[in-house]
Structure 1
Amino acid sequence: MAKHQSFAESPLPPFLPFGDEALAETVPTGAGGRLPSYIQDHRKRLRSRFLEGGASAMPDYELLELLLFRAIPRQDVKPLARLLLETFGDFNRVVTAPLSRLLTVKGVGEAVALELHIVGASAQRMMRARVINQPVLSSWDALLDYCHTVMAHRETEQFRILFLDRKNVLIADEEQAKGTVDHVPVYPREVVKRGLELNASAMILVHNHPSGDPTPSDADISMTMQIQDACNALGITLHDHLVIGQGREVSFRSLGYL
């Protein structure tokens, strides 16, 4: 069986070589190491469409192609973009996928994984900038968007705490614990202890359900009640507990638990 030609990574820093991972659909470069004209034209058309219409004018696989152009400058990247979407489901899941899982996809090495992770991290930082040091009540929609960006596509549960001052301004956003696909260990004593350390007056709890269904479990409800009791004893207000699913969230306050 003939050996497939590997993708060529960018010669520019900071990308790293990533070996011989390759797809069967790779296209050899032309004379002198130049891209065949049809690939050059395709890349030019995609860039033009993005500049003229933005991301809304492009399907997910074409937006992924634009990201892959830099990491893989001398090959057709459309097959890899489609494979990534087939593997993870959508654009958001691709750029937030764990590094270990990305590297299992044929054709993905360190250069591609790094490029995707940079995009995911940049998106999260931009969303966080919209809510940190802002009054929560006046930026509630932005806060929900941030929580979904950070947590909705995770494959394991994560528990975060949003700490607020007396004016309900978000002063800190911290990950308190990581767990498995259906459980995250949370210790009420540690939650309120951290609130006291930050001199927080109030908190919002947030965790995700990787199943996509944000309906609170009995364990979620019991844990929240324990944290509320600990907060009440120390004069800290527990505003809400948000459970993030895929495409929607559930508020404990809206459900009448708080």
Structure 2
Amino acid sequence: MTRGEPARTDGLGEAPAAADHRKGHRERARQRFLKVGENNLDDYELLELILFLAIPRVDTKLMAKQLLARFGSYSAVLSAPPERLAEVEGIKGAVATNIKIIQAAAQRFARHKVDRDMPILGSWAQLIDYCRTTMAFSAIEEFRILFLDKKNRLIADEVQQTGTVDHAPVYPREVIKRTLELSATAIILVHNHPSGDPAPSSADVQMTRQINDIARPLGITLHDHIIVGKNGHASLRGLKLI
């Protein structure tokens, strides 16, 4: 390069020095993760590491912070629909898909911690983690049923209904019909409140009691109805509402 000649780039408008700096930053970020673990990273740092996987040559720190500013939390970023993620500059196609893959991996991990061979009531904390990971940040209401055998082991985990931002239709007789089809002897109901507040509504309580009233004479135990949201969870059994 002769004197006065502009710095050569790699063809992507990126000076080699800048690229080297970013490469060094990425390696330092990875080493920090290995050294301190994910519990000691800020949310933007973990998001930045995720973005590394799909964006090889761009500074992703600002992008990670923009995602958090747009959606409000790490979990909300992972749960956001791809089209909403794409509203953030630089989050296109493969990048949004990569974020959804990470979300799916987290959900699968949480689900496998609820071991089908162990009584589900003995792993209540893992169950709550699974329900929150799977449903708490969904933009629409989902109604899920966990079907259990006589030893309270998980037979099936099914989403029965999806709805709108504040309602998912639930039909008590259909719940019981499916329970009998699976030869389940106990159930746990779970649904989410997209508003974030897990406090049960009067409609939630009424529907739960209707299901319980039909289930009891048939020898089906309704262990609980759990409501999850961004701000926590509520147990109707714990609140003595059933």
TM-score (norm 1): 0.85
Which residue is 1:41 aligned to? 24
Code of the aligned partner of 2:28:
R
The Cα of 1:35 is off from its aligned counterpart by 5.8
Which residue is 1:189 aligned to? 173
Matches within 5 A, 1:45-124: 45-124=28-107
Contact 1:152–1:245 (CA under 8 A) maintained in structure 2: yes
Structure 2, unpaired ranges of 5+: 1-11
For the residue of structure 2 that corresponds to 1:149, the secondary structure is helix
Code of the aligned partner of 2:99:
L
For the residue of structure 2 that corresponds to 1:215, the secondary structure is coil
Matches within 5 A, 1:9-28: 28=13
Provide the C-alpha distance between the structure 1 equivalents of 2:154 and 2:231, rounded to a whole number of angstroms.
Answer: 24
Code of the aligned partner of 1:114:
T
Which residue is 1:167 aligned to? 151
Contact 2:175–2:211 (CA under 8 A) maintained in structure 1: yes
CA deviation vs aligned residue, 1:163-185 (integer Å, no higher than 9, x gap) = 10000111211111111111111
For the residue of structure 2 that corresponds to 1:249, the secondary structure is strand
Q: 1:231 to 1:38 in 2, by over 3 A?
A: same
Matched, 1:29 2:14: yes
Matched, 1:248 2:232: yes
The Cα of 1:193 is off from its aligned counterpart by 1.2
Contact 1:35–1:74 (CA under 8 A) maintained in structure 2: no
Q: 1:35 to 1:67 in 2, by over 3 A?
A: farther
Contact 2:148–2:154 (CA under 8 A) maintained in structure 1: yes
The alignment covers a number of residue pairs equal to 230
CA deviation vs aligned residue, 1:79-107 (integer Å, no higher than 9, x gap) = 21111111111111111212222122222
Identity of aligned residues (%): 53
Provide the C-alpha distance between the structure 2 equivalents of 1:236 and 1:29, rounded to a whole number of angstroms.
Answer: 65
Code of the aligned partner of 1:154:
S
Provide the C-alpha distance between the structure 1 equivalents of 2:13 and 2:226, rounded to a whole number of angstroms.
Answer: 50
The Cα of 1:247 is off from its aligned counterpart by 3.7
Contact 1:35–1:75 (CA under 8 A) maintained in structure 2: no
Q: Flag as ranges the 4+ runs of structure 1 deviating above 6 A.
A: none
Which residue is 2:5 aligned to? none
Over the aligned positions, Cα root-mean-square deviation in angstroms equals 1.6
Matched, 1:126 2:113: no
Which residue is 1:24 aligned to? none
Counterpart among 205, 212, 217 of residue 196 in structure 2:
212
The Cα of 1:115 is off from its aligned counterpart by 0.9
Contact 1:201–1:237 (CA under 8 A) maintained in structure 2: yes
Provide the C-alpha distance between the structure 1 equivalents of 2:115 and 2:183, rounded to a whole number of angstroms.
Answer: 16
Provide the C-alpha distance between the structure 1 equivalents of 2:20 and 2:177, rounded to a whole number of angstroms.
Answer: 62
Provide the C-alpha distance between the structure 1 equivalents of 2:33 and 2:56, rounded to a whole number of angstroms.
Answer: 18
Code of the aligned partner of 2:223:
H
The Cα of 1:190 is off from its aligned counterpart by 1.3
TM-score (norm 2): 0.90
Q: Which moved more, 1:199-208 or 1:92-101?
A: 92-101
Provide the C-alpha distance between the structure 2 equivalents of 1:57 and 1:86, rounded to a whole number of angstroms.
Answer: 20
Contact 2:136–2:229 (CA under 8 A) maintained in structure 1: yes
Contact 1:132–1:172 (CA under 8 A) maintained in structure 2: no
